[in-house]
């Protein structure tokens, strides 16, 4: 079986960070988010190759992945980010005839046992019950099988359920998947302007493919500022690392990178401090401060600071990309 990880999106909801860095390389609890997905796939030994669909800033992703992991990868290019369905179709040439595929979105982490998910005689879609299904693809369930898919329902009333599709898919019969994607693309069938994977899944359902739901408890979205901070906090609690640093009061959980200098500061809870950061006379909580950033005389919360940025002065909440400066 092969894994397909699409990472070619433009990450508009995480600008300005994604203007200089691919979303999947953004630091979460001390590592780029893509690290956790690949590490788990390799550790659980359920795939023999990882196919990453790359687009914008592909070189940065390829350099990181091949420099970090000794595994078989291929990197088909999606020339234009015109939808998840289109991105998956770019993997077609890398998959053997009718091979099973495991699709995992590059900006979503899962605290699940992948073997449980793939240990099923039918295709499987990862789901999670949500309060408001309007931002998601939604599955309709009948007799413990999926009977329909709707992409981002217009209102809660028209949504067939609260079962959101969270970004992990195990698909048998990949030939049928690629045929359905080809049909969408050749006929120009877009939903909300994009070639959607849910539309291809609907075609598969109509052609008799069976789908089982798999409810995912540990679903860790990293697509927006609030969710990347929540995921950072979740992972920091899970890793539960302990630090004792003279000159700093540490409120666990935190991650402190190599060669970080902390002087007269309070760090935590839920803070990632990247490698080589300098933090002086500051209080930081619930934030991610990326490598080589300098923070002085500041009080920060719910904040993302990009690499090599300098923050000086009293602030509250910031969202600034690489090489920024905010000085009082």
Binding positions for ligand UTP, rule: CB under 6 A: 6-13, 23, 53, 78, 81-84, 86-87, 105-107, 223
Q: Toward ligand UTP, which CB reaches closer, 9 or 133?
A: 9
- 269 burial via Cβ count (<10 Å: 0-12, 13-18, 19+): middle
Q: How many CA atoms lie within 13 A of 233 on its CB side?
A: 16
Q: Contact, 127 vs 164, CB < 8 A?
A: yes
CA distances from residue 189 to 101, 126, 157, 198, 319 in whole angstroms, order as listed: 23, 24, 25, 12, 36
* Closest approach of ligand UTP to the CB of residue 50, in Å: 14
Cis omega (within 30 of 0) for bond into 269: yes
User: How far separated are the first and last CA of the chain, in Å rounded?
Assistant: 54
How many other CB atoms are there within 10 angstroms of residue 210's CB atom? Answer: 14
* Closest approach of ligand UTP to the CB of residue 64, in Å: 15
* Closest approach of ligand UTP to the CB of residue 287, in Å: 20
* Closest approach of ligand UTP to the CB of residue 189, in Å: 15
Q: Toward ligand UTP, which CB reaches closer, 30 or 223?
A: 223
Distance CA 192, CA 12 (A): 16
* Closest approach of ligand UTP to the CB of residue 244, in Å: 37
Q: Toward ligand UTP, which CB reaches closer, 11 or 30?
A: 11
Q: Toward ligand UTP, which CB reaches closer, 137 or 268?
A: 137
Q: Toward ligand UTP, which CB reaches closer, 21 or 23?
A: 23
H/E stretch holding 215: strand 211-215
* Closest approach of ligand UTP to the CB of residue 80, in Å: 8
* Closest approach of ligand UTP to the CB of residue 14, in Å: 6
| Residue number, nearest CB to ligand UTP | 9
Q: Toward ligand UTP, which CB reaches closer, 195 or 234?
A: 195
Nearest to 247 by CA among 259, 261, 260, 264: 264
Query: What is residue 223's DSSP assignment?
Result: S
Q: Toward ligand UTP, which CB reaches closer, 226 or 325?
A: 226
Q: Toward ligand UTP, which CB reaches closer, 91 or 300?
A: 91
* Closest approach of ligand UTP to the CB of residue 84, in Å: 5
Paired tokens of 162: 């609260």
How many other CB atoms are there within 10 angstroms of residue 148's CB atom? Answer: 17
Distance CA 2, CA 311 (A): 43
Compute the C-alpha angle 90/107/5, nearest 5°. Answer: 30
């Amino acid at each position: 079986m092969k894994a397909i990880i699409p990472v070619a999106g433009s990450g508009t909801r995480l600008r300005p960070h994604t203007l200089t860095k691919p979303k999947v390389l953004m630091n979460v609890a001390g590592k780029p988010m893509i690290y956790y997905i690949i590490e788990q796939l390799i550790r659980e030994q359920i795939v023999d190759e990882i196919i990453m669909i790359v687009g914008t800033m592909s070189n940065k992703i390829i350099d990181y992945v091949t420099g970090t992991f000794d595994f078989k990868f291929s990197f088909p290019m999606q020339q234009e980010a015109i939808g998840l369905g289109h991105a998956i179709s770019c993997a077609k040439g890398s998959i053997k005839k009718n091979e099973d595929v495991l699709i995992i979105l590059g900006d979503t982490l899962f605290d699940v046992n992948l073997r449980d998910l793939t240990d099923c005689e039918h295709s499987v879609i990862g789901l999670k019950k949500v309060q408001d299904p309007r931002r998601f693809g939604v599955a309709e369930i009948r007799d413990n099988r999926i009977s329909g898919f709707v992409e981002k329902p217009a209102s809660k009333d028209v949504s067939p359920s609260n079962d959101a599709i969270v970004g992990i898919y195990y698909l048998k019969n990949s030939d049928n998947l690629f045929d359905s994607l080809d049909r969408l693309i050749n006929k120009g069938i877009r939903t909300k302007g994009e070639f959607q994977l849910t539309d291809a899944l609907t075609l598969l359902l109509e052609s008799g493919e069976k789908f089982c739901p798999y409810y995912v408890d540990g679903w860790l979205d990293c697509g927006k500022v609030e969710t990347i901070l929540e995921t950072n906090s979740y992972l920091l609690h899970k890793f539960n690392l302990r630090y004792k640093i003279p000159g700093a009061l540490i409120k666990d959980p935190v991650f402190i990178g190599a060669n970080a200098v902390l002087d007269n500061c309070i760090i935590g809870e839920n803070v990632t401090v990247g490698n080589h950061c300098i933090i002086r006379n500051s209080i930081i909580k619930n934030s991610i401060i990326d490598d080589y950033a300098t923070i002085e005389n500041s009080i920060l919360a719910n904040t993302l600071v990009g690499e090599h940025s300098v923050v000086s002065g009293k602030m509250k909440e910031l969202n600034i990309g690489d090489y920024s400066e905010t000085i009082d």
